[in-house]
Structure 1
Amino acid sequence: MDNSDHYYLSKEEPIQGCILALKEIIMQQDNEVVHAIKWGIPSFSFRGKNFCFISIDKKTKWPYLLFHEGLLLQHPELEQKDRKLMKSFSMNPNEDLPLETIELLINSALDLYKSGQVKTKK
């Protein structure tokens, strides 16, 4: 079991199933997406630049996607909270994942990097 597996498998259901599904959804959006555990949470990069993370809210215990360049993303369900650059999208782990919204947000974030609006390392 590697560090990545340990992170996911250390969580209880329904969180575990939710974050494993999120990981798969993110990885399926583009073959250049790379997964790693950074800062103790799942991190996803594209062409050498972090673009999103999976984290769990300490109060609600709900998983959320945190978009590194979220300030550039416009969607009514994204929350900025007290962050300067990032925005998040929370999900209730006891409900079906909003697959269409998740894919839209991930692809919108990736488009920022593909278009050159956000510079990549490659």
Structure 2
Amino acid sequence: MNPIQEYFYRLEEPERSTLLFLREKILESDTDNITETLSFGLPFFKYKKRMLCYFNFSKKHKKYYISFYHGDRIDHPLLLQEGRKKFKILLINMNEDLPLELVLRLINEVKKAY
């Protein structure tokens, strides 16, 4: 098992299946240009070898989130900046429907920044 797979398989359910689903959809959204890597122990997604977004856990909110690079250029009410300079985060509520369309739209917004 590679380190990225190990990251996901250490998670408990429903977090594991939710983040694996999001991972799959992010990678499928642009198979030619989006790649993934493990940086700082976290799964990072890159667009043409540049930072795009990553998954992490917020101790403050007690939820997983997707952090978007160049999120500071995106205006959406669900995105939180919380003192970050270049990133904004989208909290993921595991007990609600995933905002998949929103995630893919935000990824496209970040791609436009490049």
TM range (shorter): over 0.9
Find the counterpart in structure 2 of residue 22 from structure 1: 22
Deviations 1:70-102 (A, max 9, x none): 111121111100111110001101222111211
Name 1:86's counterpart in structure 2.
87
**Structure 2 length as normaliser, TM-score?**
0.92
Partner residue, 2:9: 9
Question: Equivalent pairs: percent with the same residue?
Answer: 35
Report the CA distance between 1:59 and its aligned residue.
Answer: 3.7
Runs (5+) with no aligned partner, structure 2 = none
Relative to the length of structure 1, the TM-score reads 0.86
Q: Which runs of 5+ in 1 are unaligned?
A: 114-122
Name the structure where strand makes up a greater proportion of residues. Answer: 2
Once residues 41 and 86 of structure 1 are traced to their aligned partners in structure 2, the CA distance between those partners, rounded to angstroms, is: 15
Q: Distance in 1 between matches of 2:17 and 2:97?
A: 11
Q: Secondary structure of 1:7's match? A: helix
Tell which has more relative contact order, 1 or 2 (C-alpha 8 A, sep 6+): 1
**CA offsets 1:37-96 (integer angstroms, 9 cap, x no match):** 111111011111111111111243321110111111121111100111110001101222
Quick one: which amino acid aligns to residue 2 of structure 2?
Answer: D
Equivalent residue runs for 1:101-116 within 5 Å: 101-113=102-114
After the TM superposition, which residues 51-62 of structure 1 pair with which residues of structure 2 at under 5 Å, given as runs? 51-62=52-63
Cα distance between partner residues in 1 of 2:30 and 2:108: 9
Q: Distance in 1 between matches of 2:89 and 2:16?
A: 19
- How many residue pairs were aligned? 113
What secondary structure does 2:19 align onto? Answer: helix
